[in-house]
Chains A and B, each alone.
Chain A
Amino acid sequence: MANSILLTILEVILMPLVAFIVGLFMVLMMRKLAAKLQRRVGPPLFQPLYDIVKLYGKQTQISHGLIHDIGIIMAVGGYVAAEALLPVPGMDGIAAKGGLVTLAYLMMVPSLGLALGVGQCANPNGSIGISRALTAMLAYDIPFIIVIFGVAYHFGSTNLVSIIATQQAEGIAGWGISEMPILAIAGLFALHASLGKQPFEIYIAPAEIATGPMVEMGGKFLGGLFVMQTFQLYTASVLYVSLFLGGGENWVTFLIKCFAVLAIPVLIAYLFPRYRTEDLIRLVWKWPVMLALLGVAFVMN
Chain B
Amino acid sequence: MKSTDLDRIEVNPKTMPKRTNPLANVFDDLVRFCRSRSMFMLHYCTGCGAIELPPAMTSRFDMERLGIQPMVTPRQADILLITGYVSIKTLKRVILTYEQMGSPKYVIGICSCTVNGGMYWQSYATAKKLDEYMPVDLYIAGCMPRPEAVIEGLQQLMDKIKNDQANSWKQYYENYDYYLGNQQKLFGNNWQTPTDVIGEAEIYRLMGPQTLGEHTKILQQVQKPMEPLEMKL
Contact B102 A211 (CB under 8 A): no
Once the chains are docked, how many angstroms separate the CA of A61 from the CA of B204?
Answer: 10
Interface residue? A65 (CB, 8 A): yes
Segment of A47-55, A141-149, A264-272 engaged in the interface with chain B:
A47-55
A57 within 8 A of B: yes
* CB <8 Å contact, A60 and B204: yes
User: Given A59-B104, A210-B72, A42–B59 Cβ distance below 8 Å?
Assistant: no
How many chain A residues sit at the interface, stated as a range, is: 35 or more
Q: Give complex CA distance A222, B69 in Å.
A: 14
Docked pose: A49 CA to B73 CA in angstroms: 21
Q: Is the CB of A42 within 8 A of B38?
A: no
CB of B129 within 8 Å of the partner chain: no
Q: Are A215 and B75 touching (Cβ within 8 A)?
A: yes
Against B, the Cβ 8 Å flags (1 = close, 0 = not) of A29-62 are 0010001001111111011011101100111111
Main SS at interface, chain A: loop
Are B62 and A216 closer than 8 Å at their CB atoms?
no
Contact of B58 with A by CB under 8 A: yes
| A41 in contact with B103 (CB, 8 Å) | no
Query: Is the CB–CB distance between B72 and A206 below 8 Å?
Result: yes
Pair B64/A42 contact, Cβ less than 8 Å: yes
Residues of A within 8 A of B59 (CB): 38-40
A30 CB to closest chain B CB, in angstroms? 12
Residues from chain A with Cβ under 8 Å of B6 in the complex? none
Cβ contact within 8 Å between B104 and A50: no
Closest to A205 in B: B72
Residue of B with least CB distance to A212: B72
Is A217's CB within 8 Å of the partner chain B?
yes
Contact call B231/A66, Cβ cutoff below 8 A: yes
Residues of B within 8 A of A98 (CB): none
B72–A40 contact, CB under 8 A? no
Chain B residue at smallest Cβ distance from A59:
B103
CA distance A222 to B100 in the complex (A): 15
| A218 lies within 8 A of B31 (CB) | no
Residues in B whose Cβ lies below 8 Å from that of A59: 102-104, 204
- Given A54-B35, A59-B103, A59-B104, check contact A218 B75 (CB 8 Å): yes
Are B75's CB and A40's CB within 8 A? no
Q: Select which of A41, A216, A217, A218 is within 8 A of B101 by beta carbon.
A: A218
- For residue A77, CB closer than 8 A to chain B, the reply is no
In chain A, positions 194-221 with a C-beta closer than 8 Å to chain B are 206, 210-211, 214-219, 221
Q: Which residues of A lie under 8 Å from residue B17 when comparing CB positions?
A: none
A61 to B76: give the CA distance in the assembly, Å: 10
- B72 with A35: CB separation less than 8 A: no
Q: Which residues of A contact B103 (CB under 8 A)?
A: 58-60
Task: Select which of A41, A51, A65, A211 is within 8 A of B62 by beta carbon.
Answer: A41
Beta-carbon contact of B101 and A50 below 8 Å: no
Inter-chain contact B64/A31, CB cutoff 8 Å: yes
Q: A50-B34, A51-B67, A60-B204 are in contact. List 10 more A-B contacts (CB 8 A).
A: A38-B58, A40-B58, A43-B64, A43-B65, A46-B37, A47-B37, A47-B38, A53-B34, A214-B73, A215-B73
B→A interface (CB under 8 Å): 30-31, 33-35, 37-38, 58-59, 62, 64-65, 67, 71-76, 78, 100-104, 200, 204, 228-229, 231
